[in-house]
Amino acid sequence: MIRRNTWILLIVLAALVGAALYFNRQQKSSAGSTTPTPANTFLFTSKDGNPTDIKIQDTEGHSVEVARDSTGKWVLKAPTADAANQSQAEAAATQLTSLNLVGNVQIGLDVVGLDKPTYTMTITFDSAKTHKVLIGSVNPIQTGYYIQVDGGPVQVAEKSGIDSLVGMLTAPPYLATLTPTITLTPIPSDTEVPPASSPTALPGTTAPFTPTGAAIATSAVGPSTTATP
């Protein structure tokens, strides 16, 4: 027969095990949960100013960079130094300043791909501030990317905005150039038959000469002569 004290010890032990399991589950749940941010919370604020240099890199070494020159126009600095499409570069700058945050996450960097980020963005603003944004994997519900700004907490930024920015890696905002129009001149065929020439008369005759060399008429006969006895 089990003594009363033994039953009490078993009950206490079971309670401790249950409590440990409960707190462990609560800890895992809170670590992986996303705390929603208020609506229209942007990654960058008006204190940062307007972007003047945008550089994006991936893990394979590809990069694209656009920056404003001394006149305020956008130019390409990578993958090659070239003139930039002003509307596309300005759209990228606008996308950065309007990039929404979905929420904050308390989770390990290795769990969401931020220990080895897929993309890295370095943005310089006219306020002389520079921010480095690491972009990890997509969240489970496909609404955003896990990001980290300047080594801060893990956040979730809207997926569509990030996609449009990193899309410049495969489609840099080159300045469109006009393609010259080429007019082709038809070349005469080798089998083309030249037009036949009109018959001409041979010198000293009145008969025309055909291209085959056959005379059409005989030559004129001179006046007859009478023999003198």
* Domain co-membership, 126 together with 111: yes
Residue 219 confidence (pLDDT) above 80: no
* Domain co-membership, 66 together with 80: yes
Burial of 85 (0-12, 13-18, 19+ CB in 10 A): middle
Name the residue type at position 25.
R
> What DSSP letter does each residue of 102-139 carry, written as one string?
EEEE---TTTTT-SS-SEEEEEEETTS-EEEEEEEEEP
Residue 27 confidence (pLDDT) above 50: no
The one-character DSSP state at 47 is: T
Does residue 145 lie in a domain region? Answer: yes
Mean pLDDT (the chain) is 79
Q: How much is the average pLDDT of 178-194?
A: 60
The angle formed by the CA atoms of residues 85, 88 and 93, to the nearest 5 degrees, is 120
Non-local (6+) Cβ contacts of 216 within 8 A are 199, 207, 208, 209, 210
Residue 193 confidence (pLDDT) above 80: no
Domain count, the chain: 2
The one-character DSSP state at 100 is: B
* Domain co-membership, 127 together with 27: no
Q: pLDDT tens, 30-70?
A: 345 556 555 568 999 889 999 999 999 999 999 999 999 99
Distance CA 122, CA 164 (A): 16
**Per-residue confidence at 22, pLDDT binned at 50, 70, 90?**
very low
**Per-residue confidence at 176, pLDDT binned at 50, 70, 90?**
confident
* Domain co-membership, 67 together with 113: yes
Q: What is the pLDDT of residue 62?
A: 96
* Domain co-membership, 17 together with 90: no
Q: How much is the average pLDDT of 121-132?
A: 97
* Domain co-membership, 85 together with 145: yes
* Alpha-carbon distance values, 5 to 10, 13, 14 (Å): 9, 12, 14
- Among 120, 152, 169, the domain boundary falls at 169
Q: What is the pLDDT of residue 202?
A: 53
Contact 129, 59 (CB under 8 A): no
* Domain co-membership, 137 together with 89: yes
* Domain co-membership, 41 together with 152: yes
Q: What is the pLDDT of residue 161?
A: 95
* Alpha-carbon distance values, 50 to 68, 90, 125, 155 (Å): 11, 10, 5, 22
* Domain co-membership, 22 together with 54: no
* Domain co-membership, 18 together with 104: no
Q: What percent of the chain has pLDDT over 70?
A: 60
Does residue 176 lie in a domain region? Answer: no
Q: How much is the average pLDDT of 171-191?
A: 70
* Domain co-membership, 20 together with 90: no
- Full-model pTM: 0.63
* Domain co-membership, 124 together with 85: yes
Does residue 218 lie in a domain region? Answer: no
Does residue 215 lie in a domain region? Answer: no
By residue count, the chain amounts to 229
Q: What is the pLDDT of residue 228?
A: 46
- Domain interval for residue 69: 37-169
